[in-house]
């Protein structure tokens, strides 16, 4: 695992090469990894993510007009649009996330100015680490910076703007967790989010713990269809439980005791889907308490239980994810590990002792390719800061 270099100086030089002038700001927004709380967000439950040291950055300079010109270093491509004529671009998909953010910011009452920008991201795309949310939040911060309106919106509103951009303009029905943690993350903390009320609370992340993320590099082709199917199964469970539990509107309202008392009302598959969500909500709250007490052994057991529930009850794991989790567990210093994200591919996350990150990575490189014939990526990260803007001039 190589340390992550600061990309800003390279981006500044590329900006000068492209636009023959100097940028004024860099806007930064991180990706995220969810410690625990999977498939609870659309059931109005709880999640506990942390921000990563990997991020999306815009190096920008305001323009005197309403034109936006962006060069992406990773895509080796440029695109532009007019803030007065926003329209979905079928030929350059990544630009739509940025156009959507511009549209939703103006819907909040901000009058934006154009900008020249260089874009770079090192959050792996398609890995379940929320590169799209990082792109949206960084774009929002960039627009606000060049328009002289950095303080116009509070953090939760920026997150909601970014979510609406993805939901309404791009057409992806994501939840709010990814944007919330990208905006509101803080170094040394996880963020406990109530996905119903949108209340949130910073939870100290113990100094004697670290995170290792293993990217399976396996296909996530089943994730989208399975997501919709699981969401419908949860709604069916609520409908079947409501006659016995009047007033419930989501699985968030159901306790484990109440579910067990009424399991005969549910087909076996629906019951297991509900059991995952109900027990996962309880694990999130218990995990936040364990981290607050520096009880890493308990936190690790909760992560292990979450993975087992996702594998057996919710059935969104995969041989690749199970192999990744097993590889993590084979290394000394691993407290617990679980898949993170929607499942079927993407990443797993391990809670480990500081100083043991490389031994966990070595175990992954040794074990995982033998089982899957896929070479993984491994990242170590502390709990990092959320979005921010740095003035360059």
pLDDT tens figures, 41-88: 999 999 999 999 999 999 999 999 999 999 999 999 999 999 999 999
Percent of the chain at pLDDT > 90 equals 89
In this prediction, residue 173 carries a pLDDT of: 78
Whether residue 74 contacts residue 120, with contact meaning beta carbons closer than 8 Å, is answered with yes
State residue 6's pLDDT score.
86
DSSP of 313-329 = TS----HHHHHHHHHHH
Identify the weakest region by mean pLDDT among 108-117, 339-348, 381-390. 339-348
**The pLDDT of residue 277:** 98
pLDDT band at 5 (very low <50, low <70, confident <90, very high): low
Q: Is pLDDT above 60 for 328?
A: yes
- pLDDT confidence tier of residue 2, bands split at 50, 70 and 90: low
CATH of 210-381 given 3.30.310.40, 3.30.210.10, 3.65.10.10, 3.30.70.890: 3.30.70.890
Give the integer Cα–Cα distance in Å for 7 and 304.
Answer: 35
How far apart, in whole angstroms, are the C-alpha atoms of residue 223 and residue 337? 20
Going from N- to C-terminal start, the domains of the chain cover: 8-206+384-391, 210-381
- Look over the chain and give the mean of its residue pLDDT values, rounded to a whole number: 95
Closest listed residue to residue 384, CA positions, set 59, 134, 156, 161: 134
Residue 23's alpha-carbon distances to 18, 58, 102, 154, in angstroms, are 11, 10, 20, 25
pTM of the complete model: 0.93
What's the confidence (pLDDT) of residue 55? 96
- If one counts every other C-beta atom within 10 angstroms of the C-beta of residue 153, the result is 19
What fold does the segment set 8-206+384-391 form as a domain?
Ribosomal Protein S5; domain 2 (3.30.230)
pLDDT of residue 219: 75
Catalytic residue list: 178
Q: What is the arithmetic mean of pLDDT over 367-373?
A: 97
Residue 1, CA distances (Å) to 4, 153, 379 in order: 9, 37, 6
Burial of residue 248 (CB within 10 Å: 0-12, 13-18, 19+) is middle
Taking CA atoms, 158 is separated from 5, 26, 161, 202, in Å, by 28, 17, 5, 18
Residues in the chain: 393
Integer Cα distance of 259 and 266 in angstroms: 10
Cβ atoms of 49 and 193 within 8 Å: the answer is yes
Question: Confidence class of residue 162 from pLDDT cuts 50, 70 and 90?
Answer: very high
pLDDT tens per residue across span 191-225: 999 999 999 999 999 988 999 999 999 876 666 67
Per-residue model confidence (pLDDT) at position 124: 85
pLDDT above 80: residue 14: yes
pLDDT digits (tens, 9 = 90+) for 258-273: 999 999 999 999 999 9
Partners of residue 349 on adjacent β-strands: 213, 338
pLDDT tens figures, 120-150: 999 988 778 889 999 999 999 999 999 999 9
H or E element: which one contains 46? Answer: strand 46-62
């Amino acid at each position: 695992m190589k340390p992550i270099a600061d990309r800003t100086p390279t981006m500044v030089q590329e900006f000068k090469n492209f636009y023959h002038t100097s940028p004024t700001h860099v806007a930064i927004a991180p990706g995220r990894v969810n410690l625990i709380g999977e498939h609870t967000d659309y059931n109005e439950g709880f999640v506990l993510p942390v921000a990563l040291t990997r991020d999306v950055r815009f190096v920008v300079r305001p323009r005197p007009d309403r034109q936006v010109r962006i060069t992406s270093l990773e895509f080796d491509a440029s695109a532009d649009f007019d803030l007065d004529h926003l329209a979905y671009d079928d030929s350059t998909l990544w630009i739509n996330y940025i156009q959507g953010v511009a549209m939703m910011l103006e819907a909040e009452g901000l009058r934006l100015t154009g900008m020249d920008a260089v874009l770079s991201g090192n959050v792996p795309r398609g890995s379940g680490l929320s590169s799209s949310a990082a792109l949206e939040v960084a774009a929002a911060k960039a627009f606000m910076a060049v328009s002289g309106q950095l303080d116009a919106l509070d953090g939760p509103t920026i997150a909601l703007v970014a979510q609406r951009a993805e939901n309404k303009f791009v057409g992806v029905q994501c939840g709010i967790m990814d944007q919330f943690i990208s905006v509101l993350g803080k170094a040394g903390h996880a963020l406990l989010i109530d996905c119903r009320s949108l209340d949130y609370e910073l939870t100290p992340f113990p100094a004697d713990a670290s995170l290792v993320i293993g990217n399976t590099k396996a296909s996530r082709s089943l994730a989208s269809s399975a997501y919709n199917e699981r969401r419908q199964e949860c709604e069916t469970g609520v409908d079947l439980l409501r006659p016995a539990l009047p007033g419930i509107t989501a699985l968030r309202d159901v306790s484990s005791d109440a579910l067990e008392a009424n399991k005969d009302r549910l087909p076996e598959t629906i019951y297991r889907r509900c059991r995952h969500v109900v027990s996962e909500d309880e694990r999130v709250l218990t995990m936040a308490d364990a981290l607050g007490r520096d009880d890493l052994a308990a936190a690790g057991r909760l992560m292990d239980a979450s993975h087992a529930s996702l594998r057996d009850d919710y059935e969104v794991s995969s041989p690749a994810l199970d192999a990744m989790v097993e590889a993590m567990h084979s290394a000394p210093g691993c407290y617990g590990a679980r898949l993170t994200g929607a499942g079927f591919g993407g990443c797993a996350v391990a809670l480990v002792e500081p100083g043991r990150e490389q031994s966990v990575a070595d175990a992954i490189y040794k074990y995982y390719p033998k089982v899957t014939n896929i070479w993984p990526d491994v990242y170590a990260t502390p709990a990092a800061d959320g979005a921010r803007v740095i003035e360059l001039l």
